[in-house]
A and B are shown apart, each in its own frame.
Chain A
Amino acid sequence: MGLGLGLLGAGIAIGLGAFGAALGQGKAIASSAESIGRNPETGSFIRTTLLIGLAFIESLCLYALVISIMIMGKAA
């Protein structure tokens, strides 16, 4: 029972984390591509800003990954 609930919790944790991070990254990439399309000269600056922003969004997903691995270690 405990093992099953733990594994379920780990799965839900990484799933929800990836879900939110994917939505956020998709929005960020969409708007940056749109703005590069409108104004190609600012491309390099926007790309750098985009990469830094993506890193910040992605780190939240990685926290979920670390938490789920810790849960799996406790449960199994």
Chain B
Amino acid sequence: MTGQEHQSMTLLQKLTTEPPMPTDVEWMTVKIPGVPEHLYNFYGITFQTNTIHLDTLAMTWLVMLVILVIGIVAHFSIRWIPTPIQSLFEHIYAYFEDLGETLISKNIDKYIPFVMTLFIFVLACNWIALIPGFIPPTRDYNTTLALAVIAFIGFTYFGIMKNIEDEKSHEVKGIKGILLGVWHWMLHFIEPLPDLWISMEGAMKWILCPILLVMFLILNIIEEVIRIVSLSVRLMGNIMGEHMVTGVFLWLTLFMAQEWLKPMNWITSIFVGLLGALTGFIQAFIFAVLTLAYIAGVVEGH
């Protein structure tokens, strides 16, 4: 409906005409000139205002199935003398354990399996794009946001449990210990203030500290939100960018190049695909390491 038509309508017509329902409110559903649409849009079904991305859903289930099968096979084929594949996975696990020891220093057995789960899932999601025609689920912001929220819940949970255990080790038992632990965890949100409170003196303390309390509280809450946003946007942006670059290069060599260049499209495919494999591994690794670093920040704080 153009603006002129809208102005020429009577008031009654305006009131009786229903406003057009938004069929698709997904912010990623855009038209980018010059790039084939299937590289950045999703195939989905829309219920009123909610869209289900069928391709992301199918690929996520496929990844889950693959990981499940590999996990079951790996569980029943553990050898005392490791096979090469078992040795590879043990090396990756040992690497994360070393990293955890440098960051957290003790009691890391609780945290490493959580981090490794995220790592393996993200890695499988990224690497499924190496098979032609398959779409990485991490290209979708919904997937990465869900992963980042899982990581957030993980390190919040570990932080609370660590504080409760500290109270237990100080001989504060029962419900009182739990409440004190949660209280100590909540003090985390006004972080540099307790030190300042001790170091300041006189009347300035009572004027300055309430202002600082509000400021630090807001800053720390923003920091928590920024952690989720940066974890998810980093993964999504990298994988989506990589996927689009791969597709555009292939599209350019297939449809835009000179006739004699067209059979050479496998060269660009191989190089861009290798770059994609590298990016996928590094992004999965960084997702896991940042989660570990956040856990270390919550657990080792004070």
The smallest C-beta distance from B178 to any residue of chain A, in angstroms, reads: 33
- Is the Cβ of A58 less than 8 Å from the Cβ of B32? no
> What is the interface of chain A mostly: helix, strand, loop, or mixed?
helix
Inter-chain CA distance A51–B40, complex, in Å, is 28
Nearest chain B residue, comparing its CB with the CB of A62: B237
Interface of B is mostly: helix
Binary per-residue interface labels of chain B (40-82) against chain A in the complex, 1 for a CB within 8 Å, 0 otherwise: 1000000000000000000000000000000000000000000
In the bound complex, residues from chain B placing their C-beta under 8 Å from that of A55 are 234, 286, 290
Give the chain A neighbours of B230 by CB distance below 8 A.
56, 59
A57 vs chain B, min Cβ distance (A): 11
List residues of B (8-46) whose CB comes within 8 Å of A's CBs: 27-33, 40
Q: Note all chain B residues with C-beta closer than 8 A to A73.
A: 27-32
With both chains docked as a complex, state the minimum distance between the C-beta of A69 and any C-beta of chain B, in angstroms: 7
With both chains docked as a complex, state the minimum distance between the C-beta of A58 and any C-beta of chain B, in angstroms.
Answer: 7
| Interchain CA distance A66-B144 in the complex, whole Å | 14
Query: A36-76 CB contact bits vs B (8 Å, 1 = yes)?
Result: 00000000110010011001101100110110011011001
Q: How many residues of A contact B (CB 8 A)?
A: 19
Q: Bound complex: CA of A58 vs CA of B36, how far in Å? A: 26
- B33: A residues at CB distance < 8 A: 7, 72, 76
- Chain B residues lying within 8 Å of A48, measured Cβ to Cβ, are 99, 102, 289
List 16 additional A-B contacts (Cβ < 8 Å) besides A45-B102, A59-B237, A76-B32: A48-B102, A51-B289, A52-B286, A52-B289, A58-B234, A62-B238, A63-B237, A65-B241, A66-B233, A69-B32, A69-B40, A70-B30, A72-B30, A72-B32, A73-B28, A73-B31
Task: Give me the 9 closest cross-chain CB pairs, A-B, nearest first.
Answer: A73-B30, A62-B237, A55-B286, A59-B234, A76-B31, A59-B230, A65-B237, A72-B32, A76-B33
Interface residues of B (CB under 8 A from A): 27-33, 40, 98-99, 102, 230, 233-234, 237-238, 241, 282, 285-286, 289-290, 293
